[in-house]
Structure 1
Amino acid sequence: MSSSQTTAIQLPLDLSKYPKLSAQQAGHLRHFYNLSSAIDGNWPHMGSQEPGQEFLDGYRYQLATMVYAAGVTHYHRMPAMGGLFKPLIRQLIHKMLRREVWGYWYLTSQSGRLVDPDLKELRKPWADPIFERQDSLKFHWDPLFWGMGPETFSYDNNGLQKAILAEMERNKWVGVCCEPNLVFIACNQFPIIAMHYNDVRHGTDVANGVLEKYKAALEAKKMISRDDLFQDWVAVKQGYTATPRSAGLTGWSAAFMNTWNSDLVRAGFANQSRGYITNINGHVELQHPMIANEYRSLIAEHKYSPEEALRKAREYYKEHRKTITFPYNEPTLGYIVKWLSELGKYEELNGILQYADARLQPTWENGGLYYLRNDVAADDEGHWTHVDPFSGNAAIGYARLNVEDGQKKMWDRPWTKDSLKTQPWVDGLDLSQGVDCLRGVWDDQANAMIITVREWAGRGSQLKLEIKNLPTGNWSLYRGDNTPATHEVSSEQAAVPVEVSLKAGEEVDVVITRST
């Protein structure tokens, strides 16, 4: 990384009260951009453990988490930077529509004994990952040497929601199947959140009715609890639930269920995290599930101190780890840090992130930060070593960029068309220009826009920005340590142009305030 040179600016405004992204936070955003801007068909650092993209660290989970991370960053940290986040999110969605991301469904649609033990023969396959048709998201199924010709499956937002609601109703409201016959709690949080935002956009009230039936179904199946881990999934045909073997899917579920069921999520944290996250004499670690489950058993006997229980649990792991036969490691690290970030458990979160920075190979590439993949679950002493692409590319970045109750605050106070109409924002800056944006906020009380950019590529940069939606009147524009320029905004459609020259590694503040 290039070293930064900060240019001072003298203002009747204390810039220190407007937090900037840290170098690591900016690095995660840039890594998302680097991955999203790779040439189509190239997936740098994103290859998953399972070659058919069926497992939990597949492309689709990585891309979705990058979008969620961009969303929480935009809303909570840089709300004025719509022009920065819009192209990033659109490009990530473009990647989601690539056949490499969703094409696994053709084989999965036929089901199998693992997900449906009573299956007598495979189902007839179909390529469409969503089942029903409409028109603004398009999935192109076009294998080169196989099939009867190209097919396109098209949807709009309303069509997707109708398909999801129909599936929930067929499953008696316990949720939508992620794989044939299996309903996971974690996966169903995302369409529920989307229904809520659709209600906000369209003035409808779908989500509340769905939640009433959904929560009742979960409770009837004993899927959720404040006393123990959530059940991983329910088999729709057979009616049984899967006993969790780790806290991973509970953490993933809770990180997003906090939007609508925060009391239960917060009440359950201590019991659910015990042993999976240990804090012994201020040293925080994430534990392998076999270690964690043995630790929980030993602590429950009330015979051992935490130190002794962890020592014995690690001995147990070393003796029994060869009995683990499932070939893939769940992306537990990513799930756990997302959970901790949403609940504001900063002692635990910072401890795990410090551990990751010390031992899990943080890597900088083209200004972006990620963590190298490592398929080994733990070292010889039982210390965590596993880093999957979901965690290393996306989820750790999400956790660093999120804030306490990040998802819940957006659920409770979503942006609307009306609220955005009057909010000043910045256009013309995106992540392709060799700069990181560290700050981009509008302060209503101070009548001021505060932007901070840093050149990272070592080549310098020339920016041409526009500040839009400013109230009419006279404004003073400060760039770096230059003499402020005065601009008049005479109509709601007028924008204030801003040109910024950055030297290699330079950091510059841009501030516009109402003239007195």
Structure 2
Amino acid sequence: MSERVLTAQQTGHLRHFDNLSRQLPNDWSLMQARTHGQDGFNAYRYQLAYMTYALALTHVHRLPAAPGLFQPAMQRLLDKLLLPEAWMYWRDTGRGGGLLNPRMTDPTSQDWDPVVRDNIMYSAYVQSMAMLHDYLFDSDQYAEPGSLTFQFWTMHWGGEEKLFAYDRTSLNDHIYWQLVQNGYLGVACEPNCVFQICIQPAILGFRLHDLITGGKRAEETIAGYEQAWADFGRLGENGHYNVMVLQDSKILIGNDGASAQMDGWCGSLMNMWNREFVHEHYPRQIADYVVHGPDGTLSVPPASPANMNGQQVTRDSDGNFGWLAAWASEMGDERTRDGLLAHADRFMNPTWRDGGLYYPRNDTTTDADGNLVNMGPMTGNVLLGYARLNVPDGLWSLFNHPLPRSRFEEPALTAVARDVDVSRAEVVDGVLHTRLRRPRDVPGDGTVTISRIAGRGRWTVTVDGQPAAVVDGTTVRPEPGPFTDAVHVDRDQVVLHCPATPHTFTFRQDR
């Protein structure tokens, strides 16, 4: 069986992402964290973004011939990111002075527009998610004026509605010029805080925009960014990634070695364009964090409280745990990734819901035996699935290996019903291979639409290696057997009716 066949756990994570994307607007079930509003690293924006990244990596590296599985989910996730619940925090956060420099501006100077200044911790995800969609699916959907619009109105405040219209190009340009105005050091998240991690998603967006439209904006950004950070150093004396620079004072805030999350997050994404550097320092950095458990399991030490603006703030441990797993997957460190996932499967309550796999929120830090059980929605919904689905240097390859145009001309699954699991979808030597299964407990009609076959000559369809049908132009001649009614043509599309048990379908053009 092909190494590209996904495991049940991997397809379970994909289905959980899909389930969350299908929740009604403002239904954030399973996504709420214990922090109020959208403070902290479990915020909706991060969950939505890294689900999208995980889907993109899975599509590119594991299921390249299944755009119909990924495109609708990625679009729904971006639709959710544009909802006011995901960005209204900025009305108040934008008036502050950041984590370490509290100051409030004039109360009337609120920025309703969530991307007009700072807030790269939101704007870069809108930008990169829109670019990923259009790049992966050969689309100009988010090139349309107003296709990325932030809109809000409430009767309780009165006045005109707040409406700020952007598209992929105008938002890309706006982020870039903020970066230039800041001397390429970065763009602040909350005011005054320029995190080293937070420009990384924007660099991905710049690169994808270059691949879509031409240009060298990513290359220019990286060169300027490298020069700006040379004055501070990427790593502190302890070998860990420096966290941020305070924009007004140019004070550097390092990593005290307690934040695996900062190292894992920064290292995972920086690997896109700085691979040699990230790989060089990874072994020593990650060795400072992992804790060995029984039977090859790995974990992280419980996070200690942090002093933020004079308050002792509880820090969840799951961000450290989840980001180390994601980082290990990008580094190709299967031993660490698998050890962390084994700990999660043993101690963190893996749960199946509506055919999807996730790890539910748990605010308790450790169990009675001292095993880490703390789990927040970013790790439980997203990062552990991301780690399972990613491949070594997955982001690096996406960044550095442009998709060939032939990809959009080959046979592909262009529509997939909700109740179909796809564990393989790839074209090898001109032959489409797809492995499909229809779960019984998920609603849908069990169909898959395959494009670029009907009307293009004669194709032989097999199921598990046995002839099932011949598609000749737009005519189907079924073979006798259990799959006689599995294939038909609807206009210029081939439609498969999926069985309840997993089977491999192949489509081979007769020469």
TM over 0.5: yes
Q: CA deviation at 1:461?
A: 4.8
CA distance in 1, matches of 2:495, 2:237: 52
SS, match of residue 499 in structure 1: strand
Aligned counterpart, 1:151:
162
Q: Deviations over 1:91-143 (max 9, x none)?
A: 11111111111111111111146342466766711111111896220111213
Q: CA deviation at 1:289?
A: 5.7
Q: CA deviation at 1:271?
A: 2.0
Q: Where do residues 368-383 of structure 1 align in structure 2 (5 Å cutoff)?
A: 368-379=356-367, 382-383=370-371
SS, match of residue 176 in structure 1: coil
Aligned counterpart, 1:161:
172
Aligned counterpart, 2:131:
none
Which amino acid counterpart does residue 201 of structure 1 have in structure 2?
A: I
CA distance in 1, matches of 2:362, 2:103: 36
Q: CA deviation at 1:49?
A: 2.2
Q: Residue 363 in 1 paired to residue 351 in 2?
A: yes
Which amino acid counterpart does residue 511 of structure 1 have in structure 2?
A: T
Aligned counterpart, 1:267:
280
SS, match of residue 179 in structure 1: coil
CA distance in 1, matches of 2:105, 2:497: 67
Aligned counterpart, 2:479:
none
1:472–1:497 Cα change, 3 Å? closer
1:288–1:278 Cα change, 3 Å? closer
1:393–1:378 Cα change, 3 Å? same
CA distance in 2, matches of 1:347, 1:167: 40
Q: Residue 497 in 1 paired to residue 494 in 2?
A: yes
Aligned counterpart, 1:512:
507
Q: Residue 448 in 1 paired to residue 459 in 2?
A: no
Which amino acid counterpart does residue 390 of structure 1 have in structure 2?
A: M
Aligned partner of 1:110 among 91, 95, 99: 95
Report if the CA contact (8 A) 2:328-2:336 is conserved: yes
Aligned counterpart, 2:333:
345
1:374–1:216 Cα change, 3 Å? same
CA distance in 2, matches of 1:324, 1:121: 24
TM-score (norm 2): 0.84
Q: Deviations over 1:224-254 (max 9, x none)?
A: 3696111111110111122223121111011
Q: Which runs of 5+ in 1 are unaligned?
A: 1-15, 292-316, 318-322
Aligned counterpart, 1:297:
none
Report if the CA contact (8 A) 1:276-1:289 is conserved: no
Q: Residue 386 in 1 paired to residue 374 in 2?
A: yes
Report if the CA contact (8 A) 1:127-1:141 is conserved: no
Q: Residue 191 in 1 paired to residue 175 in 2?
A: no
Identity of aligned residues (%): 30
Matched residue count? 462
Aligned counterpart, 1:251:
264
1:207–1:123 Cα change, 3 Å? farther
TM-score (norm 1): 0.83
Q: Where do residues 12-411 of structure 1 align in structure 2 (5 Å cutoff)?
A: 16-112=1-97, 114-117=99-102, 124-131=109-116, 135-224=146-235, 228-244=239-255, 245-279=258-292, 283-288=296-301, 325-329=312-316, 331-379=319-367, 382-411=370-399
1:47–1:169 Cα change, 3 Å? same
CA distance in 2, matches of 1:202, 1:226: 41
CA distance in 1, matches of 2:503, 2:275: 40
Q: Deviations over 1:461-501 (max 9, x none)?
A: 542522326894321012468643222359xxx95513324
CA distance in 2, matches of 1:117, 1:97: 28
Q: Where do residues 428-443 of structure 1 align in structure 2 (5 Å cutoff)?
A: 428-430=415-417, 432=418, 434-443=419-428
SS, match of residue 282 in structure 2: helix
Q: Which runs of 5+ in 2 are unaligned?
A: 118-122, 124-144, 475-490
CA distance in 1, matches of 2:508, 2:193: 55
SS, match of residue 54 in structure 1: coil
CA distance in 1, matches of 2:101, 2:238: 29
Q: CA deviation at 1:275?
A: 2.7
